[in-house]
Amino acid sequence: MNIFISANNTGCGKTYATLKLIEAFSKNGYKVGVMKPVETEVTDYPKDGKKLFETAKRFNPLLNSLTIDDIVPIQLTLPAAPAVAGRVDFEKIKDSYNKIKQLCDILLIEGAGGLLVPVTETFFMVDFIKFFQAKLFLVIGSKLGMINDFLLNKYYLEKENINYVWAVNLFDESYYEISHPFIKKYNPLILQKDLDKIAKKFTGE
């Protein structure tokens, strides 16, 4: 199984959510792999990719045969959308994917930014879902403005017939006062409280 992790924007908790999913799936006996196909703002090393790699290796020693360049095949310096930051080599991404996939039961693939971040002029972050034949996990950061972000993402995904699991990343306690009164009718899962439920939505256990 492949799971693509996206969010309503940058800085909303994709890496945090992916780290939590590594632990949750590993606890349930799955061998978990990780990948971040494209990371921008890379100077010395890919910071998000390194966090994912180091954590995943603790639970799945088979990943020790890989390098950080396998986990993050495309590393770009400019802190911008990949389409702006540089060239993306999809064959290189496929090569890394094939190496990692054989070492795991569940592969967690973290995107960059939100669903419609352009990777090239014609390929957007959301297109990685089909590229990897993945299921989608959408993280919605709990800050002010999340209602609009959630509804826009919901509208787009349903219009495109893309199934998804979503959860609120609760980093702002004011969420319960300013956003939850509206969001609650959509039965949100909270990443910090409902991790097991989130994992089971993917595995069907």
Long-range contacts of range 152-155, CB-CB < 8 Å, 24 or more positions apart? 152/8, 153/8, 153/114, 153/115, 154/186
Residue 100 has which token pair?
Answer: 């990692």
Residue among 14, 20, 36, 143 flagged as catalytic: 36
82 close to 117: Cβ distance less than 8 angstroms: yes
198 close to 164: Cβ distance less than 8 angstroms: no
* Cα Rg of the chain, angstroms: 16
Task: Select from 172, 154, 173, 166 the least CA-distant residue to 191.
Answer: 166
Has 51 been annotated as catalytic?
no
CA–CA separation, 160 vs 153, rounded Å?
A: 11
Q: Residue 149: in which H helix or E strand, if any?
A: helix 146-159
CA–CA separation, 202 vs 182, rounded Å?
A: 26
Active-site residues, by number, are: 36
